[in-house]
Amino acid sequence: MFATARTRDEADGLSKRARAEGLDLRVTTLDVSDPPACEAAFEDIAHLTAGGPDAVVNAEGFAVAQAVEDVTEETAHRLMEINTFAAMRLARLVLPAMRRRGRGRIVNLSSAAGRSVLPLGGWYGASRAASAALTHALRMELAGSGVQVVLIEHGFHATGLLEDAVRSLTPPSNISTHVTDCYRDAAAALSDPTRFAGPDRAAATVHRALTARRPRARYTVAMDARLAAPLIASLPYAISDPVKRLVLGLAEYP
């Protein structure tokens, strides 16, 4: 098995944990937003596996929790690059070999934020909605090829994505002091480790998606993704919008 990590420290930590679990795992650092680096990494994997991987899990993600007008062009591009473009880039790299073999599996991790957008989550939700749409299209295009495509949508859980979101809430808003106060309150809520489950359930769902003989097209992880997000998305905006604004503390913002 092969795995990638953003930094050398993360790669070393993952390798150490794999050894402790008795797993044969090769870990390398990879910036999924760097096309040449992705090509080189998958060329190495193809060489070591005599053709390329049987399955790919696209689990890289990046989160920002700011008002739409506070998010810079650079940050918006980074969100779309990591959460949307990278998964399709890796799919393009592995699909030719999978088609030739007549089998393969691509599992893309996304978020319920793409279906039920919250205030301060516009750009993050946009990146996840785009990822879900592209995964859906890819699944239809590959029907009959032997390559199966699966989307996993998670809710809130304690991972590096929450840490990304909290960091993004640290600078004051350029809009108003009231929005800055909302950032502070949101950061406090996201920083509470007792409010969110760990990544174990999401990892178990990935395992199910990889090993099931006939995987579902879409899996949802956690109650907020399975029940709350679809319910809220089905409500009229006249009802859901004020509720979301109230929850985020924006109800008094003109």
- HSE, side-chain direction, 13 A CA sphere, residue 247: 11
Catalytic status, residue 183: no
- Whole-number Å distance between alpha carbons of 230 and 110: 15
Q: Which residues, 6+ apart, have CB-to-CB distance to 253 below 8 Å? A: 176, 178, 179, 182, 245
Whether 148 contacts 217, CB under 8 Å:
no
CA angle at residue 235 from 232 to 236, to 5 degrees?
Answer: 135
Pick from 131, 54, 132: which is nearest to 95 by CA?
54
Pick from 146, 66, 148: which is nearest to 107 by CA?
148
Whether 27 contacts 3, CB under 8 Å:
yes
* Among 124, 183, 219, 237, the one annotated catalytic: 124
Whether 54 contacts 107, CB under 8 Å:
no
Q: CA dist 195 to 157, 162, 201, Å?
A: 8, 12, 15
Whether 119 contacts 248, CB under 8 Å:
yes
Residues designated catalytic: 124
